[in-house]
Structure 1
């Protein structure tokens, strides 16, 4: 049937007539006991409703994005989870183009070790869940099952029981033997994370040279939770440390495998080059690539800009309380990286956000967030200085992928925590820095900043407007920008 009416505004007669014809058609072909899987934005084919409710939902909420009328017998309707698996199809098609022997060779023009490991883990996408199964591969079944666990907030014990029941009910199905095996497969696809113990007072990470320490060097707090039953005998205490529970844990999601995974699909690899090959260069601002900051970055680092597959990243973070009003003291800080190479309709989509750090604890991180950023900053520095060999499936070649952190996205209080520049007090302005002009209001007990007119042009009428401002003319020019070299020189002049 004609579906052009779906793109019309819902108040138009064309949409309403087309909807009536659609309702008659879909209930005749797909109706079960007088109900259909409603394809509106809220139900997304997951809720069964009657004729009246279906028409009301589609008038109020329209069809979910990507919905198309298909043959109800040969082509079942897609749900959002099934649409998400379409990304898997591109990876699998690239895998089918690789001969099994290729994955065993060492030719530098072919997939490197990390790409081979990824593709080998993806081979279960070619394996049927059970003989004759057409709807699920082993990989799609695992992804759907694990997705349900996360969305339904099912704990490991309950999920393991469900797993055991499924294996007993379907002995011919290639279901992993345990939850551990399932997670191992997910880790092989680059979706795992690392746990890094931290000082409960946010002093240090037990990482790299500190990984074997059992006590914080700064505050001398134990790395592990203690109880009244713990022995004071130092030898017994050391022997039992492997059974201890860490007092605080940082979850770190390795960045390099996630960036490499962007190049595993030829379609996604092409999208990484959109900023150079697909953007419209007409002087209009549509995307960060059109901004002066992007052009300045290219001018300052021509070696980086020469390789269009190098990734420019934006970092976003903020704190929130996952328990709502139940625990006002709790604060969780996710740190997310966003690949800005992608087109505007891709780079700000949630599936492409890369969660790199998950910092949680009973209180806000404050100025100590830099302690938790150490693993991420370490890998970003490595990707900037050296890069990582990465397989590009769109060109069937390996290249040295580099990445640069170009932007941070945050509100003003979080800006202070990420940059280290205090946004409170006498010199709160990061643009004016030490040349900030502030006035302390004694009765209000706060600072105000009245020198904003100096950022205007030299002949602007507001500069001589005494009455509308603080009774003075503004003759001073805007302060010079603080460069990275200036910051380093000031830091080097400090005596610690």
Structure 2
């Protein structure tokens, strides 16, 4: 194929002129060199210091807070001590996904950016867009597919140079020059992208790249799809469900859990595999491997413990779709349909649910244990429709709920994340029997524990057993068509946390936010990738320069957050003990005056005294008095001290050894106070119930 776009010859134009005029490349790969961008991170003293955070400031107490706490990072350090001995050497992750630059959901155009994540930074910086590096911009309109390795060649050459030779770099924080090296730890992508980057086909009977050749799958003749069940192999060998034939597939399960292939094993398997890139006709390749990934050209890649990550974001979204569509029996979304019942009959399990042929060639079948009546569906939808969430925690999910039609659709990935973690448990508990509700509630609890920012390593053993039991319970409840590959993949997520650290560093949410920003750069719809490239370079230059601006200049690094409470700008004259914190929201900025009743005033005075550090000495003095004069358990003495301390302190403050400010405190607050309908303090919003009644969010209570 020609490297130039082919044009139709215009009438009257010579063939030679048409051949050499107006040559336009068929594809333009935009490469943003990685090496100078890594060097630039050390040119600013602040970012240069943060690049050593993982070694110098990270807590090393055995908990998983950062990829450096994971087994993959530690194994890499052991195998390459010359690399790990220099904490400024860079650990990278590669993230990629396709998007339509024209802000439509159509797949008519797919542009693929390749972004590099720097893991040397602390957790609050490493996934921010300011510290994510765009390395390649693969043009559309077609997805690169299996040919993505061709486009990755410039990046791989840079990574080889950074590993083998290193590059002289100036470190502004230490005022010295050193030789920087870099290593790619893993890739981050959705599951179709997993196939493109790894070379393992994520479709068909062996779609699970973690189970590889031992993937337990079965083709469903009537549903015309492959299901992935057999999760009993992940249970302990002495678990009672391994010998339960009736509730599962009619057989005992005595196999052990499959193990992941090591990189060295993959290299041996693919030694004789030949692949030709491009659109030419190729001989069909038998087996799940479609190519030997270009990442194996990196000298260390085969020894990496975790090479490609499963994306928790898309897994949660697909599981939530399956659960909601099946429970509400939504046409086109439910996994419990007539063909699924015929599959049950073919498998010879759950005879009560088999379809029964009736006159006219029609068939009818009994309801499943998870089937809901129209009233129960209304309750289920009503819970999600009426829910009020704290400001900023989630979008307005009620917009996606149609109570009358008993449907929920149009929600985004983060909505599914929030529903699966918190909301479905509430809706399920009031509408489904316990044997159905229990595994779904446990599933939400599993994902909640999995997505913690700090995880105890011993908790992962429990989560591995927990998800195996949950999926086995679901196998006893839902039809086989429910178990697509995305329902199977959670079985491997706990182990990936053990290897790579918390999921926040390895899921697609930051990448998707960056894609949204890249979409906003498109101005010339005829050349979307060119628009993105020009805007990214300008944005990159502004970001770099803004690090050197004075603090008084508003930049993305010192821009105040939405819930900034203006505490440093408060001009109210208060004492040094209690600073003015927070600001009112809308309405009357000066507040509405009102008189405090005696009880409220007493509570306010008590709070003031018990939260002032200089009063601690007098609290202990009063505690000794109460202890000597009051008989009874500790709670009786604590109650007596709380009730009597303010009056006792008022008398005690009359003595000369008490400061003037503490004497003022002893008299208590003014009878007149100010009331606000909304107030922002410590980064949180608080509303009165009357104010909340007019909103879709709840910030009261």
TM-score of the superposed pair, with normalisation by structure 1: 0.52
Residue 468 of structure 1 and its aligned partner are, at CA, apart by 3.3
Residue 231 of structure 1 and its aligned partner are, at CA, apart by 4.3
- CA shift digits 1:79-104 (9 cap, x unpaired): xxxxxxxxxxxxxxxxxxxxxxxxxx
Distance 2:90 2:247 in 1: 48
Report the equivalent of 1:424.
203
Residue 226 of structure 1 and its aligned partner are, at CA, apart by 2.3
* Residues 327/445 of structure 1: CA separation in 2 closer, same or farther (3 Å cut): closer
Q: Is the 8 A contact 1:450 1:470 kept in 2?
A: no
Residue 370 of structure 1 and its aligned partner are, at CA, apart by 1.6
Report the equivalent of 1:438.
217
Distance 1:328 1:489 in 2: 37
Residue 405 of structure 1 and its aligned partner are, at CA, apart by 0.8
* Residues 246/231 of structure 1: CA separation in 2 closer, same or farther (3 Å cut): farther
Residue 360 of structure 1 and its aligned partner are, at CA, apart by 2.2
- CA shift digits 1:448-478 (9 cap, x unpaired): 2223322232223332233332222211112
Q: Is the 8 A contact 1:264 1:392 kept in 2?
A: yes
Residue 260 of structure 1 and its aligned partner are, at CA, apart by 0.4
Asked if residue 367 in structure 1 is aligned to residue 367 in structure 2, the reply is no
1:407-422 aligned at under 5 Å gives the runs 407-422=186-201
- Partner secondary structure for residue 331 of structure 1: coil
* Residues 374/483 of structure 1: CA separation in 2 closer, same or farther (3 Å cut): same
Asked if residue 298 in structure 1 is aligned to residue 81 in structure 2, the reply is no
Residue 443 of structure 1 and its aligned partner are, at CA, apart by 1.5
Residue 222 of structure 1 and its aligned partner are, at CA, apart by 4.3
- Partner secondary structure for residue 423 of structure 1: coil
Residue 237 of structure 1 and its aligned partner are, at CA, apart by 6.5
1:394-473 aligned at under 5 Å gives the runs 394-473=173-252
Asked if residue 390 in structure 1 is aligned to residue 173 in structure 2, the reply is no
Counterpart of 1:259 (choices 24, 34, 38) is 38
1:25-40 aligned at under 5 Å gives the runs none
Report the equivalent of 2:99.
320
Distance 2:239 2:210 in 1: 20
Report the equivalent of 2:2.
221
Q: Is the 8 A contact 1:225 1:246 kept in 2?
A: no
Report the equivalent of 1:276.
55
- Partner secondary structure for residue 356 of structure 1: strand
- CA shift digits 1:313-351 (9 cap, x unpaired): 011111111213385411111111010010011101111
- CA shift digits 1:168-220 (9 cap, x unpaired): xxxxxxxxxxxxxxxxxxxxxxxxxxxxxxxxxxxxxxxxxxxxxxxxxxxx2
* Residues 382/461 of structure 1: CA separation in 2 closer, same or farther (3 Å cut): farther
- CA shift digits 1:242-273 (9 cap, x unpaired): x5222221111000000000011122111111
1:43-442 aligned at under 5 Å gives the runs 220-229=1-10, 231-233=14-16, 240=20, 243-325=22-104, 328-442=107-221
* Residues 289/231 of structure 1: CA separation in 2 closer, same or farther (3 Å cut): farther
Report the equivalent of 2:467.
none
Distance 1:449 1:324 in 2: 35
Distance 2:146 2:272 in 1: 22
Distance 2:59 2:274 in 1: 50
- Partner secondary structure for residue 316 of structure 1: strand
Distance 1:311 1:468 in 2: 51
Distance 1:331 1:495 in 2: 27
* Residues 422/305 of structure 1: CA separation in 2 closer, same or farther (3 Å cut): same
RMSD between superposed Cα atoms in Å? 2.0
Q: Is the 8 A contact 1:426 1:436 kept in 2?
A: yes
Residue 308 of structure 1 and its aligned partner are, at CA, apart by 0.6
Q: Is the 8 A contact 2:4 2:23 kept in 1?
A: no
RCO higher in structure (CA 8 A, sep ≥6):
2
Distance 1:231 1:276 in 2: 67
- Unpaired segments of 5 or more residues in structure 1? 1-219
- CA shift digits 1:433-459 (9 cap, x unpaired): 122232111122211222332223222
- CA shift digits 1:8-64 (9 cap, x unpaired): xxxxxxxxxxxxxxxxxxxxxxxxxxxxxxxxxxxxxxxxxxxxxxxxxxxxxxxxx
* Residues 298/465 of structure 1: CA separation in 2 closer, same or farther (3 Å cut): farther
* Residues 480/391 of structure 1: CA separation in 2 closer, same or farther (3 Å cut): same
Figure out how many residues of one structure are paired with residues of the other and give that number.
273
TM-score of the superposed pair, with normalisation by structure 2: 0.37
